[in-house]
Structure 1
Amino acid sequence: MTYIQVEFPLFVIAIIANISLGIIVLRYSPKSVSRYLFGAFVLSQVFWIGTNFAAFVGNNFLWLARLTMLFAALHAFFFFLFIYTFLEKRKVLTSKLLTPLIVFLVVIIALTLSPLIFEKLEPNQSGSLGPKPGPAIPFFGIFVGGCILWAFYSLVKKYQKSEGVEKLQWRYLSFGLVFTFLLVLVFSFFNYVIFEDLSTVRLGHLYTLPFIVFTTYAMVKHRLLNLKAILAELAVILLNITIFIQLLTSESVRQILVNGVVLIGTIVTGLLVIRGVTKEIKQREQLQELSEKLQKANTELESLSRFKSQMLALSAHQIKAPLATIKGFASIIMDGIYGPINDKIKETLQKMKNSADELINLINTLLDLRKVEEGKMDYKFENVKIKDLVQNVIDGLKVQADAKKLEFSFTSGTEASVSADPQKLKQVLANLVENSIKYTPQGFVKVETKEENGYVTFSVTDSGLGIGPTLLPHLFDQEFIRDERVKKEIKGTGLGLYIAKRIVTDHAGTIWAESPGEGKGSKFFVKLRKIT
């Protein structure tokens, strides 16, 4: 058996393989520009090998050779566009890129159909007739070679950036494309242009097989496409073909009826199976698309959050400086350094100083919130005697309690120490005591510490406004301050308890609150493990 005898069957196999691959990709790959570009690439490849084969078996060799060059230019053009866009999550084809390429392509197509590419047929070195290359052949080579080299450059870059299964998919796709284009360039272009040998040019359909084989292997082995759907349709088609053949070869009316009913049943069942599989694939694609959109939105939100935090920190630091200056000058004037002042002016300056203190505290709270949200709260742990720390808090807030004529007391039931950042823990305890003073119009605020079962518990009890049962479980949540009922009652940002909980949690402790109800006072607790 000679090659001439099997050449046409091999050509048909190559055509069927190329068309089948193109249909499979167009049907089952995710919706994207690269899917259609792949279809155009395969279609131009089919026309290229078709006209190339026809040129050697037909009667009009010159025109068929020119058409072969036309489809070769389209083949290289769509190959570049496909590789350039494949697996991209963003739009990469721009008018700046496409416009000059399309103009160049149109010029090359016009040249391929003119004598400037192939002038005429003339005997070559082997004695057979072949097309004589025209003066525009170098321009054709520049365009086709440029598209292929640019595509392979993009292919190498994307392969280096890819990871995991995606890298394996690129690897096998690259192998197939490299082998195919090397065979085409060496045996279909250089072999004829340099050595005027047409014997290997007619084998163009075989040069596409490496691309078909490696791409198919990538689809099957590494899930380049959804193999489940492809196999489902193939199985249904093969089953129906088998039953149809049985129907055609039936020898009796009974067999015809049985096989006919079975065929109808398998067709209906097969369509339902294919419909179900296709629906599942679409749902997965939609889920993947939603997941990608959600990931993109999360990335944008994180970027906005970082920007917000940076602006907050910058603004806070810029505001604190003049506030400290205002507070400092108010203290200097109150101390009489610039001369004696009357009580009314002193009272006004005290209000200014208090307002400055409130603003500075607010700024510090916002800065702490930023640190908590970003996980950047710094701690310097050391052994802290809880009695001394609480006494320091009491001394600092006694003026506020006395101003409201509250019964303000501290009972210490332990001399134990805890491992804590003294400044951060003092901030928590001061916030709880200050809140009790703030929300207690009259009555008492009692602070207590005690030791039990290896833990030290700090508590502050007041006879103030109390906490309703619906709000009590959410006191330490950030969402707490968004409750309209809470906004009407709170006299600050409401962020102090949220920050306090995060600080206590970072100290491996617990914080909670208890209250019999609105108007019945409340009690806050902080529990930390003592140092043994």
Structure 2
Amino acid sequence: MSFNFFQNLDLLSVGVAVAAIGILGFVVYLNNRRSITSRTFLFFSVITIFWSIANYLQYNIANPAVSFWMLKLVVFFAVWHAFLIFRLFYVFPEDAVIFPKSYKTALLPLVIATSVIVLTPLVFESIAEVSADGAIARVNNGPAIALFSAIVVSLIFAAVFLLVKKTFLAKKGKKSQFVWVLTGTFLTFTLLLIFNFVLPAFFNRPDFIPLGPVFLLPFAIFTFYAILKHKLLDIKVISTEVVAFFLVIAAFSQILLSKSAGETIFQVSVFILLLIFSILLIRSVMREVRQREELQELTKKLESANAELRKLDQLKSDFLSFATHQLRSPLSITKGYISMIIEGSFGQASDMIIERLKRVYESNERLIKLVDDFLNLSRIEQGRMSYDFSRASLDEIAEEVVGELTEAAKKKGLELLWQKPIPPLPQTVLDSSKIHEVIYNLVDNAIKYTQRGKVALKAEKSGIFLRLSVSDTGIGLNEEDRGRLFERFSRTERGYRANAQGHGIGLYVARYIIEAHGGKIWAESPGLGQGSVFRVELPIK
């Protein structure tokens, strides 16, 4: 078995080269299917595999007739081999290339015609001499052998000329890619020249001719690296390629160790299936890596967009804070002067003027409240909301609010009820002005959105919490409205129809303040048109 293995060492070498070139070709193609360079490299790899198999069989089949046809297939694939080398160097390293008209109308038809002609007696007429072991020693050339030689040599020289030209004209960033391909080309042609021409022609040593695929490996490997140089593969892909390559080589070695024709056929089938599986595995891993890279790129873009949005949001908050601060001072001054005029500090005004000034005063108060809401919103967004915590009585703050809004309730014909707790509620730690703002906002909203009936305010102790409830007989809430009522700039459709002057900020600010106290705020309602209850719970500290 050991002797059989080493006897077929040339077959193992060809198998390794074929597997490597095939895997490299598909890896390049799968890395960028749309690139014409990747597609051409794949075609080159496939033709190389067929040429390698035909070349090896031609030198190892003892039947002269079969060997003669293998020779024709070798030169058939050699025509396409030379053409694809030319095409590869023509398109490399671009992703898209527009071919000139002469490519489709002259060069391609000429290559097709030549590849067909080499299969006829016009290139190889017949077998001239057969060696003692049954191998073809010499053939009779036909009249078209010159055409074949001219086409192949011209394509190869044109390809090398293109590559050298592109290397010298390449910009600094791409020059290294061309140098890698040029190096691989030089190594391959040097090996082919020595082992496939010099040794057979001058030293009568044709032993290395079947190893042509091995000599093509430097070109394939260097070109593979050059194509992927600026798109380096993930380590996971490289690991998969290495594992796949060794699996394929292991399967191929089993062919060499086969003892019968049946076992050989079976091992060949296993080898082919494993090669296909390896390519599909690499494809799957590359797809996974590509998706991960796309996700990482998308994440970077989102992070950049979020950073820009945060910057814009900060600018908006800064502007809002500046604008509202600038507005509040003149509004407060206006409020003071109107109040002094109504009180007669500048002399007695007529009843009509006082009535008009009261309306101006109410409008000014609404503007001040709106500015305060925007100021609070700005502080919340910038994280600058400050608190002055001290021990205070929740029921006393509620009573103050009731006193401030009783007149507003009367003007709408509503009854404002205050269910004062007896005995008084225990004091707790809170920011009195902030809690006053929350309760004022809840009662004021209840008055605004209630057309008839009453608004009731109740404070009580519930376990370790103090609970404040503001109930009304107003427009009520549905389940959807309750879910988004405390969001920023959120208003219900019925609420907008009942009071167009709201802005959806007050309840958002109220929730933030209550949560900062370690409490919670929520709304309850049996349904639309059936009133609602807003509850606040604060921990007793």
Q: Please state which band the TM-score falls in when normalised by the shorter chain.
A: 0.5 to 0.7
Tell me what 1:336 maps to.
344
Q: Does the 8 A contact of 2:475 with 2:494 survive in 1? A: no
Alignment counterpart, residue 512 of structure 1, candidates 522, 526, 534: 522
Q: Does 1:420 align with 2:433?
A: no
What is the distance in 2 between the residues matched to 1:485 and 1:390?
24
Partner Cα distance (1:477, 1:321) in 2: 28
Q: For residues 299 and 259 of structure 1, what CA distance do their matches in structure 2 show?
A: 59
- Cα deviation for residue 354 of structure 1 reads 1.4
For 1:400, give the aligned amino acid: A
In 2, Cα distance between the equivalents of 1:332 and 1:251?
117
Q: Which has the higher contact order (CA 8 A, sep 6+)?
A: 2
- Equivalent in the alignment of 2:85: none
Deviation of 1:478 (Å): 2.7
Helix, strand or coil at the partner of 1:341? coil
Q: Deviations over 1:2-21 (max 9, x none)?
A: xxxxxxxxxxxxxxxxx9xx
Partners in 1 of 2:306 and 2:315 — Cα distance? 14
What is the match of residue 446 of structure 2? 436
| Superposition pairs of residues 52-91 of structure 1, within 5 angstroms | none
Residue type of the partner of 2:467?
A: T
3-state SS of paired residue (2:538)? strand
The residue aligned with 1:521 is 531
**Structure 2 CA distance for aligned equivalents of residues 486 and 405 of structure 1:** 21
Equivalent pair of 2:448/2:499 in contact (CA under 8 Å): no
TM superposition shift of 1:522: 1.5
Match of 2:322 in 1: 314
**For 1:350 and 1:284, how far apart are their aligned partners in 2?**
66
User: Partners of 1:276 and 1:487 in 2: how far apart?
Assistant: 59
Contact 1:481 1:487 in 2 (8 A): no
Cα shift readout 1:6-56 (whole Å, capped 9, x = no counterpart): xxxxxxxxxxxxx9xxx99x99xxxxxxxx9887547647879999xxxxx
Residue 308 of structure 1: SS of its match in structure 2?
helix
The offset of 1:245, in angstroms, is 4.1
User: Which residue does 2:265 correspond to in 1?
Assistant: 257
Match 1:500 to one of 505, 510, 514: 510
Distance 1:419 1:490, change over 3 A: farther
- Report deviation, 1:350: 1.4
Q: Give yes or no for the alignment of 1:387 onto 2:395.
A: yes
C-alpha change, 1:482 and 1:270, in structure 2 (3 Å) is farther
Map of 1:59-208 to 2, 5 A cutoff?
none
Partner residue in 2 for 1:167? none
Tell me what 1:377 maps to: 385
The CA distance in 1 between the partners of 2:417 and 2:368, in whole Å, is 28
Structure 1 residues 382 and 470, CA, compared in 2 at 3 Å: closer, same or farther?
A: same
Kindly tell me the number of residue pairs found equivalent between the two proteins.
Answer: 335
Distance 2:182 2:340 in 1: 92
Per the alignment, residue 411 of structure 2 pairs with: 403
Where does residue 122 of structure 2 map in the other structure?
Answer: none
Superposition pairs for residues 463-502 of structure 1, below 5 Å? Answer: 463-478=473-488, 480-481=490-491, 486=496, 491-502=501-512
For 2:376 and 2:509, locate their aligned partners in 1 and report how far apart those are by CA, in whole Å.
Answer: 7
Q: Distance in 1 between matches of 2:274 and 2:184?
A: 37
1:312-365 per-residue CA deviation (whole Å, 9 max, x = no partner) reads 111111222222232233223223333322111111111112111111111110
Where does residue 296 of structure 1 map in the other structure?
304
Change beyond 3 A, Cα 1:482–1:525:
closer
Structure 2 residue runs of 5 or longer lacking an equivalent are: 1-23, 33-170, 187-231
Q: Tell me the residue number matched to 1:109.
A: none
Q: Residues 481 and 495 of structure 1 are in contact (CA less than 8 Å); yes or no, is this contact kept in structure 2?
A: no
User: Is the CA contact (8 Å cut-off) linking 2:489 and 2:504 kept in structure 1?
Assistant: no
- Partners of 1:465 and 1:372 in 2: CA distance: 30
**TM-aligned CA deviation for residue 489 of structure 1:** 5.1
Between the aligned partners of 1:420 and 1:286, the Cα distance in structure 2 is: 51
Aligned-partner SS, 1:471: helix
Query: Normalising by the residue count of structure 1, what TM-score does the alignment of the two structures yield?
Result: 0.57
Cα distance between partner residues in 2 of 1:244 and 1:446: 90
TM-score by length of 2: 0.56
Determine helix, strand or coil for the equivalent of 2:461.
strand
1:116-148 C-alpha deviation (Å, 9 max, x unpaired): xxxxxxxxxxxxxxxxxxxxxxxxxxxxxxxxx
Q: How far apart are the structure 2 equivalents of 1:409 and 1:319?
A: 35
Taking every aligned residue pair, what percent have the same amino acid on both sides? 33
Q: Deviations over 1:396-445 (max 9, x none)?
A: 11111122232222122233112111111111111111111111222211
Greater Cα shift, 353-362 or 400-409? 400-409
1:239 to 247, 252, 271: 247
